[in-house]
Each structure stands twice: as structure tokens, then as C-alpha cells.
Amino acid sequence: MLVSAKEMLNKAKEGHYAVGQFNINNLEWTKAILLTAQECNSPVILGVSEGAGKYMCGYNTIVGMVNGMIDTLGITVPVALHLDHGSYEGALKCIEAGFSSVMFDGSHYPIAENIEKTTELVKLTGEKGISLEAEVGAIGGEEDGVIGAGECADPNECKMIADLGVTMLAAGIGNIHGKYPANWAGLSFETLEAVSEKVGKMPLVLHGGTGIPADQIKKAISLGVSKINVNTECQLAFAEATRKYIEAGKDLEGKGFDPRKLLAPGFEAIKATVKEKMELFGSVGMA
Ligand SMILES: [Zn+2]
């Protein structure tokens, strides 16, 4: 059964570790992440962007697939199914479809409008026991077409949004989506400390987890980050393993073209990446 992300994140904040959000793209992705979470006895959040939602034939299809897998694979660790960077309309659709968690990304609206829309969603999700993530300060890189400048959030604005009653808060602290450029300045711990101080017990979310050095991840967790989003890293691992399989000509040997064989190395690569992240975030054994 899907659960809200609230309890797992509050536990993570108290226990000084973070729960990974791993974005899904298809059946193989979902199965690899769920099995790894179970093997690691770790809570997990499955992220779905609106683009990935369309790709997987809509939110109802996704809810059906994830619930079916949890049942068939015997997954007993806490699993939240979460809309990543949702629009207001997208969040409503996911709430309707049976997601257990949604993010409303109002960071590109003026703060007053972000507050107004977030307030409405606090009410709607609260009634259904669904967790809600809000964002302040756009996160750089590409968020399904929304380009941010990699800015740092204003701690006072963070407090205004946190006080509305959201479950968790994503604040820009110099992090970006996708691959980090060579001249990246690193995370702004100054901003993170200021935000942490303002929002108190509220779990903070770090987006763009791919390529942030391990020591910076650990420091961010120590300063109140309880959820870390990983997307690009699984994509890179999947692509590399699949390319190697084909470059080695294995699809031309015997029945190597069978999709269940062709996609197996990529599947295993996602599993290895997720396990590595769960170990780094400290969520292993915390289910
Ligand atoms: Zn993000």
C-alpha cells in the first residue's frame, strides 16, 4: 500500500538521514527501485514528473502499475508515489488518481500567488492524508521545460510557505538539475543553515542530487535535508549499461535481442545506483 511521505520524512529528519526520491520512467525503472528499497529495508519515494506521467500513459496507469508491483513483489517497506515539480492542475489530477504525495512547484510565480495556490493544496491534500512538497527559489537546470537560474531561496519566503502547513519544502541552495558544470560553485550551506533555522522541524528537500559530492550531501543532511531527489544518475547508469551491451554485440548473440535480456543490464545498473544512494543517504535499514 502506498503511504504519504510525511512519517518517513519526519523520522528521517529526527534520525539525521535522508530518504531518496528516485524518478521512474517505465516498468523496469519502477521494479528496480522497489526491489532495491526492499533489499535495503529502506523507505523510498517514487518520483513522477508531468512529462514522465504523459510518457507512461497517465497517472491512473502509473498508480495501477505501482500498486500492482507492491502487491506482486511483496514490498513491505514504506513507498510514497510522488508528483515531481507539479503544476497546480497536475497536482489535482494526481490527488484524484491515487498518488500518496504531490509537489506543487509554484517557485516561478510571484510569492503571493505561490502562497495562494499552495494554501489551497494544503487543504486538499490534508483532507486525504497526502503529503505536499512546496518549492521556494527556482532550482537551476531544466525542470521539464521550466528553466531556473540556480538561485538561492529567501529564508523568509521559505518560512512563509512552511507555515502554510506543507509537509516538506524544497529550497534552492545553489543546486541544479541534470549534470553539474565543471565550474559549479557547490551548495550554499549559508543559505541552507538560514533556511533550516527559519523552518525548524520541517523536512527540507534537495533537488538535483546527481553529481553533488558525497561530503556535501552528508553536510546537507546534517543541516536538515531529509529528502534527496535523484533522476539523472539512474538515466546515465541505464544508458551506459545498455550501450555496453549493444556495443559488445550481445543483442546479436542467440536471443540477446529479447527485450527481457536487452534491458537487463540497464535494470541492474539502476539497482546498483539506487543502492549506492541509499547507503550514502543513510536510509538503509530505516524502513
Ligand atoms: Zn527537482
Give residue 26's region: left, alpha or beta (phi > 0; psi -120 to 50): beta
- Tell me the CA–centroid distance for residue 261 and ligand 1, in Å: 32
Cell 486538499: give the residue. Answer: 124
pLDDT of residue 207 exceeding 60: yes
Among residues 84, 105, 215, 258, the one annotated as catalytic is 84
Mean pLDDT, rounded, of the chain: 94
Q: How far is the CA of 257 from the centre of ligand 1 (A)?
A: 35
Render pLDDT for 193-202 as a digit per residue (tens, 0 to 9): 999 999 999 9
CA 255 to ligand 1 centroid distance, Å: 39
Q: How far is the CA of 200 from the centre of ligand 1 (A)?
A: 22
What's the pLDDT score for residue 146? 47
Indicate whether 31 belongs to any domain: yes
Residue 4 CA, ligand 1 centroid: distance in Å? 19
Query: Quick one: pLDDT band at residue 184, thresholds 50, 70, 90?
Result: confident
Q: Is residue 286 part of a domain?
A: no
Q: How many domains does the chain have?
A: 1
42 found inside a domain: yes
The 10s digit of each residue's pLDDT in 44-94 is 999 999 999 999 999 999 999 999 999 999 999 999 999 999 999 999 999
C-alpha grid cell, residue 172: 534552492
The predicted structure's pLDDT at residue 44? 98
- Give the CATH number for residue 153: 3.20.20.70
Q: Residue 132: inside a domain, yes or no?
A: yes
Dihedral of CA 208/210/216/217: which sign?
A: positive
Please check whether residue 1 lies inside any domain of the structure: no
* pLDDT over threshold 70, residue 143: no
How far away, in angstroms, is 139 Cα from ligand 1 center?
A: 7
Cα 256 to ligand 1 centre (Å): 36
For residue 19, tell me if it sits in a domain: yes
Instruction: Report CA(176)–ligand 1 centroid distance (Å).
Output: 8
> Is 105 part of the annotated catalytic residue set?
no
Q: What is the pLDDT of residues 107-137, one digit of tens each?
A: 888 889 999 999 999 999 999 999 999 998 7
Side chain identity, residue 105: D
What average pLDDT does range 255-273 have in this prediction?
98
CB under 5 Å of ion ligand 1: residues: 207
HEC profile for the chain?
Answer: CECCCHHHHHHHHHHCCCEEEEECCCHHHHHHHHHHHHHCCCCEEEEEEHHHHHHCCCHHHHHHHHHHHHHHCCCCCCEEEEEEEECHHHHHHHHHHCCCEEEECCCCCCHHHHHHHHHHHHHHHHHHCCEEEEEECCCEEEECCEEECCCECCHHHHHHHHCCCCCEEEECECCECCCCCCCCCCCCHHHHHHHHHHHCCCCEEECCCCCCCHHHHHHHHHCCEEEEEECHHHHHHHHHHHHHHHHCCHHHCCCCCCHHHHCHHHHHHHHHHHHHHHHHHCCCCCC
Please say whether the beta carbons of 175 and 206 come within 8 A. Answer: yes
**Closest-CA residue to 57 (of 31, 33, 27):** 27
The amino acid that residue 65 corresponds to is: M
What's the 60 CA to ligand 1 centre distance in angstroms?
22
Q: Is 287 inside any structural domain?
A: no
Q: Which domain holds residue 243?
A: 6-281
- Is residue 260 assigned to a domain? yes
Ligand 1 centroid, distance to 85 Cα (angstroms): 6
